[in-house]
């Protein structure tokens, strides 16, 4: 269980880095040749996802008593943000770029897998 906790903690920090990268892109800052349209609500949601994932990653890597619950809550919150982004792309006035579609798809799968792992451990610990 310790290896899974460390893995999910490290992955949470990696996901936070991905979220902050896309928050910066949606704030209008280009990163090299990569540019995305300015979408303020997306930048806000991605920043919040980044913050909660940093908290969950910290709890897991620092071996806090609330680490498993924190990983469940933070992965669920970030997955909710990604699903909100998928809905915004699907029902928005304009289609998103291929990068945004890929980003949302990969993050949804990764967060769902992390959430599944955290749920598994929470059931085994009882």
Q: Is the distance from CB of 53 to CB of 14 less than 8 angstroms? A: no
DSSP output for 8-44: HHHHHHHHHHHHHHHHHHHTT--BTTB-----HHHHH
pLDDT of residue 38: 87
Q: Tens of pLDDT along 20-34?
A: 999 999 999 988 888
pLDDT of 93 reads: 72
Return the ∠ at Cα 60 (arms to 56 and 63), rounded to 5°. Answer: 135
Residuewise pLDDT in 10s, the chain (126 residues): 788 889 999 999 999 999 999 999 999 998 888 888 888 999 999 999 999 999 999 999 999 988 889 999 999 999 999 999 999 888 877 767 888 889 999 999 999 999 999 888 877 665
Give pTM, 2 decimals: 0.90
What pLDDT sits at residue 1? Answer: 75
Distances (CA, A) of 92 to 61, 76, 89: 38, 23, 5
């Amino acid at each position: 269980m310790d290896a899974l906790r460390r893995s999910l903690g490290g992955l949470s920090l990696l996901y936070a880095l991905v979220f902050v990268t896309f928050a910066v892109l949606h704030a209008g800052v280009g990163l090299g040749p990569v540019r995305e349209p300015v979408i303020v609500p997306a930048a806000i949601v991605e920043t919040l996802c980044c913050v909660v994932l940093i908290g969950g990653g910290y709890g897991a890597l620092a071996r806090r008593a609330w680490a498993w619950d924190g990983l469940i809550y933070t992965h669920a919150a970030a997955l909710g943000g990604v699903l909100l982004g998928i809905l915004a792309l699907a029902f928005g006035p304009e289609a998103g770029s291929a990068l945004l579609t890929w980003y949302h798809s990969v993050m949804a799968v990764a967060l769902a897998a992390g959430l599944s792992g955290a749920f598994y451990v929470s059931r085994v610990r009882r």
